[in-house]
């Protein structure tokens, strides 16, 4: 599957200020907002140096800019944490206790057999929890 770069998704996902971002991406340009507007209108693209600046500004890897809507792993408070869009899943107690958040709201907690799953099964499991939540069918 080819990964696409979408600056508008990145701005929305990371709640970035466009004027501030224009200055980060075009520091040597007299009118950075106009230069950035051309990027937003797909009249031009960012170069690799600008992608590196963008990733550094947000605090992510450059590769994360091409996969905004996929699960990413990190740690938080000693827990393995998976993040996708506005959803966050925390695994603790050796990966068997799952807490699912939408924004800051806890939407699901469950003991689960995560250690017995391969990664693709775990990602499907998380997507299923979120789909059920979005469709109003989530049961603890």
Instruction: Say what the pLDDT of residue 17 is.
Output: 93
Q: Does residue 15 surpass a pLDDT of 50?
A: yes
Q: Does residue 20 surpass a pLDDT of 90?
A: yes
- Mean pLDDT taken over the chain: 84
Q: Does residue 135 surpass a pLDDT of 60?
A: yes
* Locus of tokens 């806890």: 106
| Residue 89 pLDDT grade (very low, low, confident, very high; cuts 50, 70, 90) | confident
Pairwise CA distance, residues 19 & 33, whole Å: 6
More confident site: 78 or 101: 101
CB 126 within 8 A of CB 84: yes
CB under 8 Å to 101, separation ≥6 — which residues? 87, 88, 89, 90, 107
| Residue 93 pLDDT grade (very low, low, confident, very high; cuts 50, 70, 90) | low
Per residue in 32-76, pLDDT (tens digit) is 999 999 999 989 889 989 999 998 888 877 877 877 677 877 777
Q: What is the pTM of this model?
A: 0.55
Pairwise CA distance, residues 10 & 125, whole Å: 25
The greatest distance separating any two alpha carbons of the chain, rounded to the nearest whole angstrom, comes to 56
Instruction: Say what the pLDDT of residue 34 is.
Output: 95
CB 125 within 8 A of CB 113: no
Q: What is the mean pLDDT of residues 6-20?
A: 88
């Amino acid at each position: 599957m080819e990964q696409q770069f979408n600056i508008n998704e990145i701005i929305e996902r990371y709640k970035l200020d466009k004027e501030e971002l224009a200055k980060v991406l075009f520091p040597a340009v007299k009118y950075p907002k106009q230069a950035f507007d051309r990027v937003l209108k797909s009249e031009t693209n960012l170069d690799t140096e600008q992608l590196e600046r963008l990733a550094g500004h947000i605090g992510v890897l450059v590769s994360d800019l091409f996969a905004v809507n996929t699960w990413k792993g990190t740690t938080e408070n000693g827990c393995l944490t998976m993040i996708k869009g506005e959803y966050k899943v925390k695994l603790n107690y050796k990966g068997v206790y799952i807490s699912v958040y939408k924004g800051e709201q806890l939407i699901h907690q469950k003991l689960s057999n995560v250690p017995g799953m391969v990664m693709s099964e775990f990602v499907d499991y998380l997507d299923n929890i979120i789909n059920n939540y979005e469709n109003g069918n989530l049961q603890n």
